[in-house]
Structure 1
Amino acid sequence: MRKIYVIGIGAGDPDHLTLQAAKAIGRTDVFFLLDKGEAKESMIELRRGILKAYGKPGRRIAEGRDPDRDRTPADYEGTIADWRHRRSEVTEALIREHLLDGETGAFLVWGDPSLYDSTIAILDEILARGGTRFDYEVIPGISSVSALAAKHRIGVNRVGRPFQVTTGRRLAEEWPANVDDVIVMLDAQQTFGTVDAQDVDIYWGAYIGTPDEMLVSGPLAEVADEIRRVRAEARARHGWIMDTYLLRRRP
């Protein structure tokens, strides 16, 4: 039986790698990478650095092209379902071609595989089709949520009070009910700018754990424009951006 690891590698700092993840990388024969184009080459290079540090001699890399998708679709859920299906076909082809019987493969996943990542769902879809057999194991990683809180030296939650992790798309619809601490991911539209900024603080971070890390915090009304400016400059410079933020209502 072939085995696949789904390994959380943290938000960008190679030191975020857990001992469990490092050991799994050292046991892996084939690493699967989906290329997102030239703009994401630096993300691929960070993964290659991890493989150089922890991978075993003779390890192999199998690369495929990540399918394109509409970033502003009218039917969001349908578009994502179609993209995941096409991604599963690319992934299955890589596994069938490059992972031999008795070998171990791995996907290196940014942050934690259980938080806004599609790899687990894609592997389940491949197994459900029944044409390719393997076993897989998920190894947790440090999420961008944890890294953001650590960098700002804050707790994600406050005593006896809930918090919610959501997306920019959902925040644009409404602030979650009965929650004063909202962590926002996948927000290409900078939805914090649509929030009623009265009595709200923001803790924002981009490229967390990398040499390009940027952090901004303070009252939302005072720092929103600064975040927009540095975010736009960074995205133009790198061609991509990964950012996360916490919105916190004051008592």
Structure 2
Amino acid sequence: MKRLLVIGIGAGDPDHLTLQAAKAIAATDVFFIVDKGEAKHELIELRHELIKEHGRPPYRIAEARDPERDRTTPAYTDAVADWRSRRALACETLIAEELGENQTGAFLVWGDPGVYDSTLAIVEEILDRGNVSFDYEVIPGISAVAALTARHRTSLTQVGRPVHLTTGRRLAEDGPTADDTVVMLDAHSSYIGLDDYTIYWGAYLGTSDELLVSGPVTEVGDRIRELRASARTRKGWIMDTYLLRRTPRPRQD
């Protein structure tokens, strides 16, 4: 039986790698890398560095090109489903052709595999098609959410109060649904106008390009929007996350 590891490697700092993840990398025969192109080549380089440091030769690296995804269509869910299926086919080919029986293969996943990442859904889709069989295990990683709150030295939760994890698209549609809301994948600065909130924002967390801003939305919202646009233009990509926390109202005695 082929064995597959889905390994969370953290938000960007090589030191985010857990001992469990380092041991999993050392146990891997074939590493599968899906290349997202020149703009995001830094993400591939970090994976190569982690493999070189923690992998045990003889290992192999097998790469596939990530399918193009339509990011302009209003049919967002359908576009993601189509892209995910095409990516699953590419990953299925890698597993079928590059991983031998009784060997261990691995995908190194940015952050944590369970937080807004498609790898687990892709693995299940491959198994459901039945063209290749394998057993798999998930190794958790330090998520961007954990890295964000640590860098801002703030707690993710408050006593007895819920936290909502969502996307920028849903925040724009629904607004905040809790006093504490973590937002990922927000390309349109959906926090603008939420004047009752304090924002803790971070981009490229754990890397040398890390950006951090915090404060009332009314004071720092425009600055974050400008920083984000400038950084994305400079690097060609951006990964950012933020926590919105409702500002306590002054007590009226």
Coarse TM-score class (shorter-chain normalised) = over 0.9
**Aligned pairs, number:** 248
Partners of 2:100 and 2:213 in 1: how far apart?
47
Query: Which residue number in structure 1 is paired with residue 218 of structure 2?
Result: 221
Partners of 1:148 and 1:60 in 2: how far apart?
33
Query: Which residue number in structure 1 is paired with residue 244 of structure 2?
Result: 247
Q: Residues 109-158 of structure 1: CA distance to partner in whole angstroms, max 9, x if unpaired?
A: 01110110111111111111111011100000010000000000000111
Alpha-carbon offset, residue 225 of structure 1:
1.4
Partners of 2:77 and 2:226 in 1: how far apart?
31
Q: Residues 200-224 of structure 1: CA distance to partner in whole angstroms, max 9, x if unpaired?
A: 1100000000111110001111111
SS of 2:80 mapped into structure 1:
helix
Partners of 1:196 and 1:5 in 2: how far apart?
41
Whether the 8 Å contact between 2:168 and 2:188 is mirrored in structure 1 is yes
Structure 1, gaps ≥5 residues long: none
Alpha-carbon offset, residue 176 of structure 1:
3.7
Q: Which letter does structure 1 place at the counterpart of 2:22?
A: A
Query: Which residue number in structure 2 is paired with residue 238 of structure 1?
Result: 235
Query: Which residue number in structure 2 is paired with residue 158 of structure 1?
Result: 158
Query: Is 1:47 equivalent to 2:57 in the alignment?
Result: no
Partners of 1:44 and 1:188 in 2: how far apart?
23
Structure 2, gaps ≥5 residues long: 249-253
Partners of 2:189 and 2:226 in 1: how far apart?
11
TM (normalized to structure 1)?
Answer: 0.97
Alpha-carbon offset, residue 245 of structure 1:
0.3
Alpha-carbon offset, residue 17 of structure 1:
0.7
SS of 1:108 mapped into structure 2:
strand
Q: Which letter does structure 2 place at the counterpart of 1:219?
A: P
Partners of 2:51 and 2:111 in 1: how far apart?
16
Q: Which letter does structure 1 place at the counterpart of 2:44?
A: I
Q: Which letter does structure 2 place at the counterpart of 1:240?
A: W
SS of 2:5 mapped into structure 1:
strand
Alpha-carbon offset, residue 19 of structure 1:
0.6
Q: Residues 154-174 of structure 1: CA distance to partner in whole angstroms, max 9, x if unpaired?
A: 001111110100000000012
Partners of 2:52 and 2:223 in 1: how far apart?
37
SS of 2:191 mapped into structure 1:
helix
Matches within 5 A, 1:76-155: 76-155=76-155
Query: Which residue number in structure 2 is paired with residue 183 of structure 1?
Result: 182
Q: Which letter does structure 1 place at the counterpart of 2:143?
A: S
Q: Residues 43-102 of structure 1: CA distance to partner in whole angstroms, max 9, x if unpaired?
A: 100111111110112211111011111113221111111111111000001111110111
**Coordinate RMSD, CA, aligned:** 0.9
Whether the 8 Å contact between 2:194 and 2:217 is mirrored in structure 1 is no
Runs of 4+ in 1 over 4 A off after TM superposition: none
